[in-house]
A and B are shown apart, each in its own frame.
Chain A
Amino acid sequence: MNMTRREMLKLSVAASAAAAVGIPLTAETLTPVKNSGEIDVDRWVKGVCRFCGTGCGVYIGVKANKVVAMKGNPEAKTNFGYLCVKGSMIHKFMYHPDRLTTPLIRNQNGKLEPATWDKALDLIAKKFKDYQTRFGKNSVAYYGSGQCTTEESYTFNKLWKGGFGSNYVEGNPRLCMASAVAGYLSSIGSDEPAGTYADFESTKCLFITGSNTSEAHPILFRRIWERKRKDPSLKIIVCEPRKTKTSDIADLWLPIDPGTDLAVFHSIAYEIIKNGWHDKAYIEKLARITDGEKTFTLDEYTKHLSQFDADAVAKMTRCPAKSIRQAAEWFAKSGATMSIWCMGLNQRSRGVWANNLIHNLHLITGNFGKPGADSFSLTGQPNACGGVRETGSLSHLLPGCRLVANPAARAQVEKAWNIKDGTIDPKPGPDTVEMFAALGAENDTSKPIKAIFICTTNPAQSMPNLPKYLPNMQAGFLVVADIFPTRTTQFADVVLPAAFLYEKGGVYGCSERRSQLTEKAVNPPGQAKPDIWIAAQIAKRMGHSKLIPWNGDDSMKANELAWTDYIKVTKDTEKTLWGATYKRLKESKEGIQWPCPSENHPGTYKRYVRGMDPVFDMPGYKEKIPANASQYFYVDAKGEGKANIFMRAYAGAAETPNAEYPFFLTTGRVVEQWHTGTMTNRVPEIARAHPNAYLEIHPTDASKLGLKQGDMVEVTSRRGKNTLPVRIVEVALPGVLFIPMHDQKKERMVNFICNDAVDGASKEPEYKIAAVKITRIGGPMDVAEQYNISDVNEKFVF
Chain B
Amino acid sequence: MLITSSVIEVNDGGFAETERYLAGLPNVEVRGISEDKRRILLIIETEDGEVLEKISAEIGKCPGVFSLLHHSFHFDEDE
Write out the residue numbers on chain B whose beta carbons fall within 8 Å of the beta carbon of A18. Answer: 31-32, 41
Whether B74 contacts A24 by the Cβ 8 Å rule is no
Whether A13 contacts B66 by the Cβ 8 Å rule is no
Q: A69-B75, A685-B49 are in contact. Are A24 and B34 (CB under 8 A)?
A: yes
Answer yes or no: A437 CB below 8 A from chain B CBs.
no
Q: In the assembled complex, how far is the CB of residue A502 from the closest CB belonging to chain B, in whole angstroms?
A: 14
**Contact string against B for A residues 7-36, beta-carbon threshold 8 Å, 1 for contact and 0 otherwise:** 001100110111011111110010000000
Answer yes or no: A258 CB below 8 A from chain B CBs.
no
Write out the residue numbers on chain B whose beta carbons fall within 8 Å of the beta carbon of A21. Answer: 7, 39, 41, 71
A84 to B72, CA, bound (A): 10
**Contact string against B for A residues 645-681, beta-carbon threshold 8 Å, 1 for contact and 0 otherwise:** 0000000000000000000000000000000000000
Answer yes or no: B69 CB below 8 A from chain A CBs.
yes
Q: In the assembled complex, how far is the CB of residue A748 from the closest CB belonging to chain B, in whole angstroms?
A: 22
B residues within 8 Å of A by Cβ? 1, 3-7, 9, 29-35, 38-41, 43, 45, 49-50, 52-53, 56, 66-67, 69-76, 79
Write out the residue numbers on chain A whose beta carbons fall within 8 Å of the beta carbon of B30. Answer: 26
A residues within 8 Å of B by Cβ? 4-6, 9-10, 13-14, 16-18, 20-26, 29, 39-40, 61, 63, 68-72, 81-85, 88-89, 91-92, 218-219, 222, 225-226, 229, 683-685, 688-689
Q: In the assembled complex, how far is the CB of residue A92 from the closest CB belonging to chain B, in whole angstroms?
A: 7
Q: A13-B72, A18-B32, A26-B33 are in contact. Are A225 and B66 (CB under 8 A)?
A: yes
Q: Which residue of A lies closest to B5 (CB)?
A: A17
4 interchain residue pairs of minimum CB distance: A71-B72, A17-B5, A685-B49, A17-B71
Q: Which residue of B lies closest to A92 (CB)?
A: B49
Whether A16 contacts B39 by the Cβ 8 Å rule is no
Write out the residue numbers on chain A whose beta carbons fall within 8 Å of the beta carbon of B53. Answer: 685, 688-689
Whether A24 contacts B35 by the Cβ 8 Å rule is yes
Provide 10 A-B residue pairs closer than 8 Å at the C-beta atoms, listed in order of the A residue: A9-B76, A14-B5, A17-B72, A26-B30, A26-B31, A69-B75, A69-B76, A83-B69, A226-B9, A685-B50
Write out the residue numbers on chain B whose beta carbons fall within 8 Å of the beta carbon of A13. Answer: 3-5, 43, 72, 74
Q: In the assembled complex, how far is the CB of residue B11 from the closest CB belonging to chain A, in whole angstroms?
A: 10
Q: A21-B7, A82-B7, A685-B53 are in contact. Are A89 and B73 (CB under 8 A)?
A: yes
Whether B39 contacts A23 by the Cβ 8 Å rule is yes
Whether B45 contacts A222 by the Cβ 8 Å rule is no
Contact residue among B35, B69, B73 (Cβ-Cβ distance under 8 Å from A84): B69
A535 to B33, CA, bound (A): 50
Whether A69 contacts B69 by the Cβ 8 Å rule is no
Whether B49 contacts A23 by the Cβ 8 Å rule is no
A40 to B71, CA, bound (A): 16
Q: Which residue of B lies closest to A74 (CB)?
A: B71
Whether A24 contacts B32 by the Cβ 8 Å rule is yes
Whether A61 contacts B74 by the Cβ 8 Å rule is yes
Whether A23 contacts B34 by the Cβ 8 Å rule is yes
Write out the residue numbers on chain A whose beta carbons fall within 8 Å of the beta carbon of B29. Answer: 10
